[in-house]
Amino acid sequence: MKLLVYGAGVCGSLFAARMHQAGHDVSLLARGERLTALRRHGVRLAEADGPAVERVPVPVVAHPDSGYDLITVFVRTHQVEAALASLAGVRGDVLFLLNWAAGPETLGAVLGHERVLLGFPMTGGTMDGDVVRHRKSSLVTRRVAMPIGEPDGRTTPRLERIVATFRTAGLNAKAEPRMDAWLRTHAAFEVPLGQAVHAAGGPAALADDPDAVRSMLHVVRQNLAALQTPPVPRAFTALRALPQGLPRGRAPALPEEPDSRAQRTQRLLARHDGRTQAAGRTARCRCVIPAFTQERGRVRGSAAGAGRPYGGSATAGGGRPAGRSAGAGR
């Protein structure tokens, strides 16, 4: 498979490395300092805090070629508009693997609706200089599949082919017939979680504040109620039936494992874009909120529906840390 990986951050770099190791014709698109580092050292991978660094010589490019069998897009939501402009004249199906609750219509309007697929990456980690530090593989992480789907929910030959290709490369993928609803449900849950963690001063502080947890769950309920379709996965429906109140005082403590609650929650957030700093969480929330507010506006008929979805908004664009190129992506 001739494959372009658009975005050389944590998820894009890790994906490109695994597909290259599986023998596919992979090009990794990057810009700025990230492009220079990749040309010099290739993709450098390390597990969590492990000392060993693996070097994978993935070919890198600054601009797309004329056509590919598949283009996978790993960027932040405020970078989608630029990615669309760059890929409009490039042949090939385009799989968007990122936080995107604004629906496939905006993407299809630029690229052609027949080219678009939706998905979400289930990898996570952080950038340590030019080294991608990713989660250590375990039985649990290997069982969590990357959902991929057609915008209209069909199981098409190309979807089956992509899922099979990813699996043969060692990437657990599955066809998700309700991918658009999956992404909207994810935004309904993840945005309040990220905001609550940031406002509390960290995941451990949030866990010790029942009022903050209660407020977060209240917003999640409101978001789920605003969806036009049932939540996906179905388990999120249970949040509508959970008791509203939590006991006063300290929140119930879970049995501690070698990894603290803080580390587990930080990894949950890092899974989406590899950024665990407070500024990164705030930027990510700003990226997702306009699209979800628009969804709620359509349901309730409020003026909130006039909000601009995700990509290219002035607010969202301010979330990238200084000195980090847009091409670094996810």
Q: How far is CA 238 from CA 80, 215, 232, 256, 269, in A?
A: 32, 17, 11, 25, 22
- pLDDT band for position 244 (cuts 50, 70, 90): low
Asked whether residue 199 is assigned to any structural domain, the reply reads: yes
What is the rounded CA–CA span in Å between residue 148 and residue 158?
A: 11
Tell me the CATH number at 156: 3.40.50.720
Q: Among 326, 329, 289, which residue's Cα sits nearest to residue 309?
A: 289
What is the rounded CA–CA span in Å between residue 321 and residue 76?
A: 12
What's at 255, amino acid-wise?
A: P
Asked if 25 and 148 sit in the same domain, the reply is: yes
Which residue is it, tokens 């979800």?
A: 292
Strands 116-119 and 60-61: unpaired
Domain that holds residue 252: 181-313
Quote the pLDDT of residue 313: 30
Given 135, 155, 177, the domain boundary residue is 177
Taking only the tens place, the pLDDT of each residue in 96-130 is 999 999 999 999 999 999 999 999 998 888 999 99
String of DSSP letters for 209-227: -HHHHHHHHHHHHHHHHH-
Q: Among 118, 120, 101, which residue's Cα sits nearest to residue 15?
A: 120
Asked whether residue 329 is assigned to any structural domain, the reply reads: no
What is the number of structural domains in the chain? 2
pTM over the 0.85 mark: no
Query: Average pLDDT for residues 284-297, to the nearest whole number?
Result: 39
Q: How far is CA 176 from CA 13, 197, 295, 330, in A?
A: 24, 29, 21, 22
Taking only the tens place, the pLDDT of each residue in 149-165 is 999 999 999 999 999 99
Whether residue 83 is predicted with pLDDT greater than 80 in this model: the reply is yes
